Amino acid sequence: MTTTAAALTIAGSDSGGGAGIQADLKTFSALGVYGASAITGITAQNTLGVHGVEPVSPAMVAAQIAAVLDDIGIGAVKIGMLASPAIIAAVAGALEGYAGPVVLDPVMVAKSGDALLEDAAVETLAQRLLPRADLLTPNLPEAARLLGTAPAGSAAEMTAQGRALLDLGARAVLMKGGHAEGPVCTDRLVTRDAVIEVAAPRIATRNTHGTGCTLSSAIAAELAKGAEMEEAVRRAQAWLHGAIRAADELGIGTGHGPVHHFHEVWT
């Protein structure tokens, strides 16, 4: 019997369906990967903003991860919203025996501007989970917050901050260019050996809710299927570009709508 590639997302729930656990599971499914989940928190959220956040207990977060890893062959793990130092510690402990690739998306602020990570949790995230990350996927404000500096304003500064995050323990860093300006969006994959640019035309749409969650889960899906890191990043970005390009076809909500996770499936 053929074993289906599987990935685990450890993240918060988005009641609006555009980001978090919901976006991750949609992404896994769209890319042919079985998705398992461990929910770290519940948000009351829609395309206009976050109206409430309630964390899951650290013990339950750890129990969800243990239950999945004890039974399901997980080819890659994606980590998203963690909310508090106690949840971060619980996740780090639960993954101690896991040997597969880990993609860490340091979710700190929602598209609407609402904070999703306590200030006290930033240092814990850097200490406990950055050294466990095979790939860290920060946007420019998230990278700056992890480093305690201003957001990068140039390609050279993006590379320098990526290297500084390597020094904190991440094995590779994807510095995302979505918050930069210009007609082309350029992400930079920074490793100890190279800096690889992955670029795509910037798409004029306000329907970009969940792009960070979706990109990191797409990379995890490709890793679970056996791709090497650079190829996983390239495939994921190309697929996400299609999902953003088709986002306006959905017409979901009146604020920042979601990308179209099933743009290659729905007719």
d(C-alpha 145, C-alpha 82), whole Å? 15
Given phi > 0 = left and psi -120 to 50 = alpha, else beta, which region is 248? alpha
Q: Among this protein's residues, is 40 annotated catalytic? A: no
Q: What share of the chain is helix, strand, coil (3-state, %, to 5)?
A: 40, 20, 40
Token digits for 186?
Answer: 């350029």
Please identify which of the residues 9, 40, 208, 214 carries the catalytic annotation.
Answer: 208
Q: Among this protein's residues, is 176 annotated catalytic? A: yes
Please identify which of the residues 26, 80, 177, 213 carries the catalytic annotation.
Answer: 213
Q: Crossing angle of helices 20-30/211-224, nearest 10°?
A: 40
Please identify which of the residues 9, 27, 124, 211 carries the catalytic annotation.
Answer: 211
207 φ/ψ angles, rounded to the nearest 5 degrees = -90, 75
Please identify which of the residues 12, 20, 75, 212 carries the catalytic annotation.
Answer: 212
Please identify which of the residues 18, 80, 162, 210 carries the catalytic annotation.
Answer: 210
Please identify which of the residues 176, 177, 185, 257 carries the catalytic annotation.
Answer: 176
Q: Among this protein's residues, is 47 annotated catalytic? A: no
86 φ/ψ angles, rounded to the nearest 5 degrees = -65, -40
Q: Among this protein's residues, is 210 annotated catalytic? A: yes
Q: Among this protein's residues, is 211 annotated catalytic? A: yes
Beta bridge partners of 49: 46
24 φ/ψ angles, rounded to the nearest 5 degrees = -65, -45
Q: Among this protein's residues, is 242 annotated catalytic? A: no
Catalytic positions, please? 176, 208, 210-213
